[in-house]
Copies of this chain bind each other. A is one copy, B any other.
Amino acid sequence: MRQAHHPEAGQITLTGVMAALSDPIRVGLVRVLADGRERGWGELRAPVAKSTLSHHLRVLRDAGLTRTRQEGTRCFVILRRTDLQARFPGLLQAVLAAAEDEDVGHQVGVKDAGWPA
């Protein structure tokens, strides 16, 4: 649970991003994060074991799509919109639109009502 590695914006590669987005679960995760809000790990819902979810989040992080922050024993994930837009203008938008259209990764979501009332 040590601080994970994040590539710099300039080191994000096209093929890396494409590979990361070639899995429906990861696309679903990106969709969940698309609103720009930071999400807690435990808030994320996906139909896989937690070790597998951890793996997918790692792939997204390594590809430079997300950033992970530690806080005590739990961690939070956020989409690197700005970095992605700078490196690959329009790409994220196009992917998100297509993902919405196809409803890719619909099985992924967030635990409803993170904040009470």
Contacts and interface: CB of A to CB of B under 8 A. Distances in A.
Contacts of A94: 88-91, 93-94
Contact of A15 (B22, B89, B97): B22
Chain A interface secondary structure, helix, strand, loop or mixed? helix
A14 B91 contact: no
- Interface size range of chain A in the complex: 20 to 34
A21 B23 contact: no
Kindly report how many copies of this chain are found in the complex they form together: 2
B23 A15 contact: yes
A38 to B, nearest CB: 25
A95 B89 CA distance: 9
Interface of A: 13-15, 18-19, 21-24, 27, 87-91, 93-95, 97-99, 102, 104
Given A13-B102, A14-B99, 15 more contacts: A14-B21, A14-B95, A14-B98, A14-B104, A15-B24, A18-B19, A19-B22, A22-B22, A87-B98, A88-B98, A89-B97, A90-B90, A91-B95, A91-B98, A93-B94
